[in-house]
Amino acid sequence: MADSNDVLNGLIVVYTTYSILIISLVAWFSYRITRQGRGGLVKPSIFYTWVIMLAVLGVTLHLFTYNTIPWSPMDLNRADIKPDKVFEITVSNHQFQLPAEKMIIKTSEKVLFKVTSTDLTYGFGLFRPDHTMVLQMQVLPGHINDILWQFGEPGIYSIRSTEYSGPKGAYMVVKDAVEVTE
């Protein structure tokens, strides 16, 4: 299964390319409007094409990611997918309370993290040793907060709250909490 780093690398390429193009376009435009030349208006057909292109681009982006990022359809359909393992975690008073047994998962397994808050709104995120993010979700009190995941790579991952819950929550980290094996 594709990893979050694969998706982020793709995003870096796409957005960097776009940024260079749009900065160049505005720079070119800024130079050209100070020069003599035909100042005629653009044909309405070009305008309509532009509008349609933007609409198509906006919708296509989501269709593309839904079909290429593996966790997108899994997330929307998680109620119909039976997980191989379920880990229940409670967050209370700015502390993560993990299951008694160590969380060890195989890359072939689908695992459901079910996180409950007894007081505030928190976040639940898994991070690699180099601090890059694998996944995250919000943890709201009074609601079921569950995420179904299949890990792309073996490794040891840390938990960190990904939502601000007051100054007390600034260091809500559990190091090396999840181990993923082949």
Partner 1 sequence: MNMNYINTLLNGEQGIFKADTLTPMQKITLRFVVVGLVYYAFAAIEGMIMRIYEITPIPIMNEKHFFAMMTAHPLVGIFGSTYMIVFGAFLFLVPFLMKKPLWSIKAANWTFFLITIGTIVMWSAGFLSHYAPLYTLYWPLPADFTQFSAVGGAVFIFGIALIMVGTLIFVVNIFKTIVYTPDGWDKQPAGALLISALGISGSQNIFRKNKKEHLVPLPVAAIARGTVDILLNALIITFTGVLILIYMLWEIGGISLKSTAIDALLYKNWFWWGLDLIADGAVLIFVAGAWYLLATLITGKKLFMENWARAALFVELVVSWTVWSHHLLSDQAQPGILKVVSGEMVTAFELVTQGLAFFITLVTLWSARPLKMTNPLKFLLGGLLGFALAVPCGILQADLGLNRILHNTQWVVGPHVHVAVLVGLTMTLYAAIYFLFPILTNGAKWYSQKLANFHFWAHLLGGIGMGAFMGMAGLKGMLRRAIYVDGEFNIYMILAGICGVFLLLAFLAFLYNIIMSVGINGALGIFKPAKLKTKDLLPAEGK
Binding flags for partner 1, 103-132, as an x/- string (CB under 8 A): ----------------xxx-x-x-xx-xxx
Two tokens, residue 148: 């179904």
Sequence-distant contacts of 105-108: CB under 8 A, at least 24 apart:
105/151, 105/178, 105/179, 105/180, 105/181, 106/180, 106/181, 106/182, 107/1, 107/150, 107/151, 107/152, 107/153, 107/154, 107/180, 107/181, 107/182, 108/150
Binding flags for partner 1, 15-44, as an x/- string (CB under 8 A): x--xx--xx--x--xx-xxxxxxxxxxx-x
CB of 71 to partner 1, least distance (A): 6
Nearer to partner 1, 103 or 161 (CB): 161
Is residue 45 a contact point for partner 1 (CB under 8 A)? Answer: no
CB of 3 to partner 1, least distance (A): 10
Which SS3 state, helix, strand or coil, does residue 77 take?
Answer: coil
Stretch that binds partner 1, among 46-54, 84-92, 99-107, 174-182 (CB under 8 A): 46-54
